[in-house]
């Protein structure tokens, strides 16, 4: 019997060691950290990068941090707003709440749930074109305006996924175990991917190998256009219900003394060209024509940056997400186009960032 137990122990020791090492890596990476701890670190300026691999709380996280930070300049939008960096702006009071909404209807609720004293003085609103597509509305759940609930870490599930990902070569233990303080989440620790302290998003090591992207050459995006699906549904006439939601949002902002600047974000040049060739996206210029008048009614402004001729395909992470360089170019445009926000930008410095040599997918700030 004693010999049998020793044999079992010999088999179990390696397994226990493996579980122990990977469990320590999970803890060290911050993947198991409670959301309250992550939010507190972000609100207090102690968070350097946040990116969970096995759970997601983006909307709840952005609402909580935006409310705690009370920045005078707030960015609000989907993932297509996340590349707006605080260092593009000449202000010490900035937060990017990109990812805080997935649908237009959620924008007003986001602001309403913020404490009154924390609401921004200036709002930079990024309006995805498909918000105004009638077909997009069918994807929105009836309860989409409800606050997102915190997710909790499941240690067993996380450990199982981590072992699988490690076996597939998706990360190194050395990198995870040496993650700097202020890092929360395996994606952040292993790939440098996640939300920065200012709320903007870093794609991390993904930008070093764009040829490995699922949308390399925009193959996936072109397929969406061909099939008219997944945010690339076509349409002639914009959604009247979306205009009603926009008016309600602007009325709310006007009543709460929030100056609103908005823009329609860019597509990669070849993607925009393909969209135009199909003739299926006439709802976009039609929507912008209405939005321009609607924003002007309230003394606000909106710009159509769907196409930015000064940018190149290799400056886009995928067919409809621009890199840091693209958003630096957007800020150059805002410095010239915006009466409400133009004073926040140094156009010359931003142009230098945009045209600087190096990887076309990110910019390098001088220390």
Q: For position 153, what pLDDT does the model report?
A: 81
What confidence tens digit (pLDDT) does each residue in 255-280 have?
999 999 999 999 999 999 999 999 99
Q: Is residue 202 part of a domain?
A: yes
Give the DSSP H or E segment for 289.
helix 283-297
What confidence tens digit (pLDDT) does each residue in 41-84 have?
999 999 999 999 998 889 999 999 999 999 999 999 999 999 99
Q: What is the mean pLDDT of residues 279-307?
A: 98
Measured from the Cβ of residue 165, the count of other Cβ atoms closer than 10 Å reads 15
Among residues 21, 16, 47, the alpha carbon closest in space to that of 177 is found at 21
Q: pLDDT band at residue 3, thresholds of 50, 70 and 90?
A: low
Q: Is residue 364 part of a domain?
A: no
Q: Is residue 129 part of a domain?
A: yes
With 0-12 / 13-18 / 19 or more C-beta atoms within 10 angstroms meaning exposed / middle / buried, residue 320 is: buried
Q: Is residue 66 part of a domain?
A: yes
Q: What's the structural domain count of the chain?
A: 1
Q: What is the mean pLDDT of residues 188-210?
A: 93
User: What does the alpha-carbon distance between residue 324 and residue 305 come to, in Å, rounded to a whole number?
Assistant: 15
Contacts of 280 (CB under 8 A, 6+ apart): 228, 234, 235
Q: Is residue 363 part of a domain?
A: no
What six digits make up the tokens of 95? Answer: 């937060």
* Containing structural domain, residue 281: 2-355
Q: What percent of the chain has pLDDT over 90?
A: 74
Q: For position 157, what pLDDT does the model report?
A: 86
Q: Is residue 365 part of a domain?
A: no
Q: Is residue 154 part of a domain?
A: yes
Q: Across 14-18, 45-49, 185-189, 326-330, which has the greatest mean pLDDT?
A: 326-330
What six digits make up the tokens of 23? Answer: 């469990």
User: What does the alpha-carbon distance between residue 339 and residue 356 come to, in Å, rounded to a whole number?
Assistant: 27
């Amino acid at each position: 019997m004693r010999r049998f137990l020793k044999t079992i122990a010999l088999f179990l020791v390696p397994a226990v060691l493996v579980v122990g090492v990977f469990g320590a890596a999970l803890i060290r990476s911050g993947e198991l950290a409670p959301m309250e701890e992550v939010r507190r670190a972000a609100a207090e300026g102690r968070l350097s990068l946040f990116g969970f691999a096995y759970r997601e709380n983006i909307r709840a996280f952005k609402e909580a941090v935006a409310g705690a930070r009370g920045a005078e300049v707030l960015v609000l939008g989907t993932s297509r707003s996340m590349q707006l960096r605080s260092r593009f702006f000449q202000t010490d009071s900035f937060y990017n709440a990109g990812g805080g909404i997935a649908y237009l209807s959620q924008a007003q609720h986001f602001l309403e749930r913020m404490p009154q004293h924390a609401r921004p003085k200036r709002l930079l609103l990024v309006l995805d074109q498909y918000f105004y597509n009638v077909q997009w509305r069918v994807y929105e759940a009836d309860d989409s305006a409800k606050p997102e609930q915190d997710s909790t870490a499941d240690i067993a599930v996380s450990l199982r996924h981590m072992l699988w990902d490690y076996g597939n070569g998706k990360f190194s233990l050395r990198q995870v175990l040496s993650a700097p303080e202020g890092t929360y989440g395996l994606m952040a620790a292993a790939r440098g991917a996640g939300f920065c302290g200012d709320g903007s998003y870093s794609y991390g090591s993904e930008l070093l190998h764009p040829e490995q992207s699922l949308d390399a050459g925009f193959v996936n995006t072109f397929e969406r256009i061909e099939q008219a699906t997944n945010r690339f549904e076509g349409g002639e006439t914009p959604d009247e219900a979306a205009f009603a939601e926009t008016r309600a949002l602007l009325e709310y902002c006007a009543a709460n003394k929030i100056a609103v600047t908005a823009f329609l974000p860019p597509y990669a040049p070849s993607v925009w060209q393909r969209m135009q060739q199909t003739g299926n996206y006439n709802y976009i210029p039609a929507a912008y024509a209405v939005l321009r008048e609607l924003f002007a009614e309230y003394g606000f402004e909106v710009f159509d940056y769907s196409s930015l001729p000064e940018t190149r395909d290799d400056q886009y992470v995928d067919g409809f997400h621009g890199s840091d360089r693209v958003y630096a170019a957007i800020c150059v445009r805002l410095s010239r186009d915006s009466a409400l926000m133009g004073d926040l930008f140094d156009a010359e410095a931003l142009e230098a960032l945009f045209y600087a040599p190096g990887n076309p997918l990110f910019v390098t700030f001088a220390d």
